[in-house]
Structure 1
Amino acid sequence: MAPAAANRWLRPEVYPLFAAVGAAVGICGFQLIRNICINPEVRVNKASRVAGVLENFSEGEKYAEHSLRKFVRGRSPEIMPSLNSFFSNPSN
């Protein structure tokens, strides 16, 4: 019975589906680990939970303004800016 199930689900047509689901699970796992490890509002151990609500704005700003956000801040929100400018400005 096991080989029939393997032949049903492990066809080459299903590989893109496995890749898409694997990428989605990877992104969710990354965000979960990021929030547990460095989010200033999440406290896992009991000693830091005793502190209650902290007004630590500098740590929250450091978490929100991460390096990827700083990298894309001044950039155009386009995937291919040179290709878009080529087709939108035919005179150049």
Structure 2
Amino acid sequence: MASSSTFSRWLRPEVYPLFAAVGVAVGICGMQLIRNITTNPEVRVTKENRAAGILDNFEEGERYSQHSLRKFVRNKSPQIMPNLNNFFSDPN
């Protein structure tokens, strides 16, 4: 009986946006975790890589830090809606 009342309390249409927001946040955290484990040059998972010590591999570090999203937004304006901001802030 207690499980059905808990189920009916949390499975309402009003709670769906909360589930979606938490799901997106968990997805982003998981994606970043997988990215760091697989491509970060400072993270070594296998024993052979850990035994290598500190490596001066600057090319790999540059590739990791300058990923495709950063390259895409490099020359963009840091505003969310630049046309709307310019309309209200720049007098003609």
Shorter-chain TM-score range = over 0.9
Quick one: distance in 1 between partners of 2:91 and 2:12?
46
Give the letter aligned to residue 85 of structure 2.
N
Moved over 2 A (4+): none
Q: Which runs of 5+ in 1 are unaligned?
A: none
Whether 1:49 aligns to 2:58 is no
1:7 corresponds to 2:8: yes
Paired residues, number: 91
Instruction: Provide the aligned C-alpha RMSD in A.
Output: 1.0
What displacement does 1:90 show?
A: 4.1
Identity percentage over the alignment? 70
Alpha-carbon offset, residue 89 of structure 1: 2.1
- Please list every run of 5 or more consecutive structure 2 residues that lacks an aligned counterpart in the other structure: none
Report 1:11-22 matches (<5 A). Answer: 11-22=12-23
Opposite residue 52 of structure 1, the aligned amino acid is: G
CA offsets, 1:11-57, max 9 Å, x none? 11111111111111111101000000000000111111110110101
Residues in 1 aligned to 2:5 and 2:88: alpha-carbon distance in whole angstroms: 51
SS class of match (1:41): coil
